């Protein structure tokens, strides 16, 4: 069975002190909820202190981005070897990075390969815009994003990869996809694409998250869906109460199965 994951993407929020305070409170409340992988993804500058705060805990840290090269003349960038001992996960190809920082399917693939080479699990984001959704282009577009991101990877590596399906129209809008809609794309498009590329076993292994306006109210229904293995959470991950509630609800859903 695939282990569920609640990954918090803190985006460009939280000073170092605020980040440590939030991580500490989360640790105090859900350190022992071991049926759910808990991942906190603070801004780069907060990572060392948050990692130190979570040392010896059961809560993992992730970065929100990284460069694909190991080192070099890339002003302002951070590489996988720099992150290696500080994080377990890295978010790659978030739609905000694709939209505002010109990330492409090709750079997303390079980043995923570089993360894996460094022993960091990439959380690869895919998802269509409102316009694409309304034009009926979701399936073809998302399937292509998945296949491009996984180019050059082997089926056996799918246990060390996470894909997050995040429809752009649902991110930060308060308008989440319905649980059924999200499950249809996570299963019928994302998992399907992995299967077409790497076979049934790879498709059955890979963890697929839904992201986009998830919160403590809708997470229960989302987590009962068979093809959704967790959530990539933005706004609701910035507050202790909502993040903790989402972890606990997921634990209840999985314990109940
Ligand atoms: P949201 O963000 O939960 O605030 O919609 C999700 C994300 O962008 O990962």
**Ligand 1, atom nearest to 164 Cα:** 9
Q: pTM for the full model?
A: 0.98
pLDDT given at position 160: 97
Considering 94, 96, 103, 128, which one is annotated as catalytic? 94
The chain-wide mean pLDDT, for the chain, equals 97
Pocket of ligand 1 contains residue 242 by CB under 6 Å: no
Pocket of ligand 1 contains residue 199 by CB under 6 Å: no
Give distance in angstroms: CA of 170 to centre of ligand 1: 8
Query: 20-27: which pairs have CB atoms within 8 A and are 24 or more residues apart?
Result: 20/46, 20/49, 20/50, 20/53, 22/238, 22/240, 23/50, 23/53, 23/54, 23/59, 24/53, 25/240, 26/59, 26/240, 26/243, 26/244, 27/53, 27/54, 27/57, 27/59
For ligand 1, pick from 99, 100, 213 the residue to mutate: most ligand atoms within 8 Å of CB: 213
**Ligand 1, atom nearest to 125 Cα:** 9
pLDDT by residue (tens digit) across 140-154?
A: 999 999 999 999 999
Range 173-200 average pLDDT: 97
| Domain map (residue ranges) of the chain | 5-238+250-255
Element (H, E) at 198: helix 192-198
Range 198-204 average pLDDT: 98
Residue with tokens 């605020």: 18
pLDDT given at position 1: 86
pLDDT given at position 256: 82
**Ligand 1, atom nearest to 170 Cα:** 5
pLDDT by residue (tens digit) across 85-122?
A: 999 999 999 999 999 999 999 999 999 999 999 999 99
How many CA atoms does the CB half-sphere of 34 hold within 13 Å?
3
22 three-state secondary structure: helix
pLDDT by residue (tens digit) across 148-184?
A: 999 999 999 999 999 999 999 999 999 999 999 999 9
pLDDT given at position 77: 98
Range 199-215 average pLDDT: 98
> Domain 5-238+250-255 adopts which CATH fold?
TIM Barrel (3.20.20)
Pocket of ligand 1 contains residue 62 by CB under 6 Å: no
Pocket of ligand 1 contains residue 211 by CB under 6 Å: yes
pLDDT given at position 61: 98
Does residue 257 carry a pLDDT above 80?
Answer: no
Tell me whether residue 166 is one of the annotated catalytic residues: yes
Pocket of ligand 1 contains residue 234 by CB under 6 Å: yes
Give distance in angstroms: CA of 111 to centre of ligand 1: 21
193 pLDDT band, cuts 50/70/90, is very high
The tokens for 19 are 């980040």
Tell me whether residue 67 is one of the annotated catalytic residues: no
How many CA atoms does the CB half-sphere of 255 hold within 13 Å?
10
Tell me, rounded to whole angstroms, the distance of Cα 38 from its chain centroid.
Answer: 11
Range 48-61 average pLDDT: 98
Pocket of ligand 1 contains residue 118 by CB under 6 Å: no
Residue with CA at minimum distance from ligand 1 atom 6 = 234
């Amino acid at each position: 069975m695939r282990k569920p994951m609640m990954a918090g993407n803190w985006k460009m929020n939280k000073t170092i002190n605020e980040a440590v305070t939030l991580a500490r409170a989360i640790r105090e409340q859900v350190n022992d909820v071991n049926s759910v992988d808990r991942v906190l993804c603070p801004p780069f500058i907060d990572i060392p202190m948050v990692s130190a705060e979570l040392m010896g805990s059961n809560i993992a840290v992730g970065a929100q981005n990284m460069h694909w090269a190991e080192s070099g003349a890339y002003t302002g960038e951070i590489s996988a070897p720099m992150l290696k001992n500080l994080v377990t996960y890295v978010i790659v190809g978030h739609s905000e990075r694709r939209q505002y920082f010109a990330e492409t399917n090709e750079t997303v693939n390079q980043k995923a390969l570089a993360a894996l080479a460094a022993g960091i699990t990439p959380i690869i984001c895919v998802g269509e815009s409102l316009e694409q959704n309304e034009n009926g282009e979701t399936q073809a577009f998302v399937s292509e994003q998945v296949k491009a991101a996984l180019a050059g990877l082997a089926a056996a590596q799918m246990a060390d990869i996470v894909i997050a399906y995040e429809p752009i129209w649902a991110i930060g809008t308060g308008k989440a996809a319905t649980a059924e809609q999200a499950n249809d794309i996570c299963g019928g498009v994302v998992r399907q694409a992995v299967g077409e590329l790497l076979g049934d076993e790879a498709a059955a292994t890979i963890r697929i998250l839904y992201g986009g306006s998830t919160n403590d109210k809708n997470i229960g229904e989302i987590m009962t869906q068979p093809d959704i293995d967790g959530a990539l959470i933005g706004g609701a991950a910035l507050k202790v109460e909502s993040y903790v509630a989402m972890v606990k609800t997921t634990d209840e859903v999985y314990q109940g199965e």
